[in-house]
Structure 1
């Protein structure tokens, strides 16, 4: 064999032998889980609920890194550009599927990521003021028909899931209701409680106490089953509005090019961690998140379907991606 050919063959063989060794030795240093929202957010609470169990399972620290800003795009871009070795992961959520409809991004949400697993689901609750004379979604739609242009719906801002779900309600039922964007969820919820705005979709952690205190009425919850703490509130599907039934979801993504065996290792570790009673307790506590697991392919399909769904809703609402500095 020619010397150069022999050396090339030797190098190829060495690489082939080293690849499994890399995966078997993973991780040999701390792993970073990037949350694209600030401390105390649902994303942050969820990341910190799973990190202790992940650290135990991997035998290395799992560090939660909050890289907030620009609706979550700063954290996403950071991970998209990270080395694809499994040491830098991204905690995507429902807001990730809306990003392409809001702004021009410095990354491709489909091409630049590989899914590791779905990780959790958090219910949203459709609420109205106690003074509004309705007790179901059907009665709300009838009232909106009778009062065209007179009922408003609150959201945590233009392009938020509350905004886009309101657009779904308008379009599917041909309702003339008016969007009122607020600075964030607390402000939107306050406006509903006071009756300034007549309806809105609010995350479970923010609204549960207000429902139980009678400060708002719940007409439906997102997800495939009723909330244990709100057993009398139907799911949005049971209420006749299945397209409005998407919960806040959390999925773990890695940069494209991450070795498949590393993805498989991470998937197995997340599955193991999410089955631990201590992790379940932390997730279902302040984060109000139900743990869920999936294969990498199932997670990929789910995230891509969500991107397609909400980009279509945003287009119908007339939203155009805004230019941002990169």
Structure 2
């Protein structure tokens, strides 16, 4: 080995060691200021409730406060793009789901990012999907709803279904319901679950395939709306009072749920990602956080490795793109 080669190798080794030390220092330093948790829907909705169930505990494990910011619109795309426009330093993280990060880019021409622009740091929860109707809709189960919808469509007055925006998971569910039953239905998009629920309570929209929250339980008991079924294969803990969709005659296989997780920009430094992953994993182990999520009818996630959650996101991207293709979803 020549002297110049030996010198070059020593320089490379020193550089790599320096990078390792810098990464370690970055992990130890992060965060040195408050972290923003971006929620892509207005305050008061189900996603906001999830964020406020865990932000204080996440802040405790990070050693800095975690501030919730709400920004609705474009099926979560506006909030996602704001995160992408921020520095890749982990100080603005995204509470997202397939709804905003996989489906929104497929449906909205204004959304310019790809699913691959984000990285999943840790799962947060999975969510039951409820088949909810306006209070005065003349149906008390899924089969009666379809009979009513078929009658209305034949009369040229198709029923309406709410979603949280074009290309959202709930839009796809509505389109998929229309397709598998052969019953025309009209899509009514909103900027979030909260305004959709307002119109449902006011009987201005007929149905909502919605993320289930405890508010529905109260509204159902008070007769302000109807929860006809949960899109589950069987009655599950926390929502056993409602029929599983598999108990219907017409929609036995119409079973779906969704999930949310903590995301960062894909080029966020690895030490920062690891720090966020560790803090979120510890947060999920907190009994009060789990109780808060369960109180909102969420199923708290079990902490997984970064490799495992990366596979969840990759597999989910493929699955939801396939559903979008099956209903011929076009960006508009």
Q: TM-score scaled by structure 2? A: 0.79
Whole-angstrom CA distance in 1 between matches of 2:118 and 2:107:
19
How large is the RMSD of aligned CA atoms in angstroms? 3.3
CA contact (8 A) 2:105 2:112 kept: no
Structure 1 residues 167-222: Cα deviation after superposition (integer angstroms, max 9, x where no partner): 1112223x223214154656655665676655332332353322112343322114
> TM-score when scaled to structure 1?
0.80
Question: What are the equivalent positions in structure 2 for 1:33-44 lying under 5 Å apart?
Answer: 33-44=37-48
**Structure 2 residue aligned with 1:277:** 287
CA distance in 2, matches of 1:312, 1:292: 25
2:82 corresponding residue in structure 1: 78
Distance in 1 between the 2:63 and 2:194 partners?
39
Aligned to 2:176: 168
Which residues of 2 match residues 135-214 of structure 1 at below 5 A?
A: 135-141=140-146, 144=149, 148-150=153-155, 151-156=158-163, 157-173=165-181, 175-181=182-188, 183=190, 185=193, 188-189=196-197, 198-205=206-213, 206-214=215-223
Given that residues 98 and 320 in structure 2 are in contact (C-alpha distance below 8 angstroms), is that contact kept between their aligned partners in structure 1? Answer: no
1:292 to 283, 287, 301: 301
Q: For 1:77-116, what aligned pairs fall within 5 Å after superposition? A: 77-96=81-100, 97-104=102-109, 105-110=111-116, 112-116=117-121
* 2:127 and 2:297 in contact (8 A); partners too: yes
Structure 1 stretches (4+) deviating beyond 6 angstroms? none
The equivalent of 1:246 in structure 2 is: 257
* 2:70 pairs with 1:66: yes
Report Cα offsets for 1:59-106 as digits up to 9, x if no partner: 222232334433322221232344434333211134213201222333
Size of the aligned set, in residue pairs, is 318
Q: 1:52 aligns with which of 47, 52, 56?
A: 56
Distance in 2, matches of 1:65 and 1:147, equals 41
Task: Determine the structure 2 residue equivalent to 1:124.
Answer: 129
Runs of 5+ unmatched residues, structure 2: none
Which of 16, 21, 36 is the equivalent residue of 1:12? 16
Higher mean displacement: 72-81 or 138-147? 138-147
Q: 1:147 to 1:67 in 2, by over 3 A?
A: closer
- Tell me if the contact between 1:101 and 1:315 (Cα under 8 Å) persists in the aligned partners: no
Q: Offset at 1:315?
A: 4.2
Q: CA 1:4 to 1:67, structure 2 compared with 1: closer, same or farther past 3 Å? A: farther
